[in-house]
Amino acid sequence: MIRDYSRIDTAPGAEGENAMFSPPANFAGERREYLAWLKAEREQQLRFMGRLYTGPNRCLKLAVVGPYKEAFEAAFERVCQQRERDSAAFRRGLTNGA
């Protein structure tokens, strides 16, 4: 299945290609619970998405909607920052002869 990672819907129970980070319809948690759900249920997808938004071939457009917009953006920013740090460390290792 092809996913469109340029628009993310965080509304509980959302459906369709933009709802991969949408919690179940009966989800009524606050920010902390959403972040815990995201880590437990969607961490791999979030890390994959981070690959698309970091590095030399990054996708620059991202629109997030829904009640967990800020929580998703914060989690995604952390994933992208970690990926950038990992990439920089890898490049330093290559240039230092390691």
Q: Which domain holds residue 41?
A: 7-18+31-95
The answer to whether 7 touches 59, Cβ cutoff 8 Å, is: no
Model pTM?
0.78
Does 58 reside within a domain?
A: yes
Q: What is the count of structural domains for the chain?
A: 1
Does 23 reside within a domain?
A: no
22-68 residue pLDDT tens: 999 999 999 999 999 999 999 998 988 887 776 666 666 789 999 99
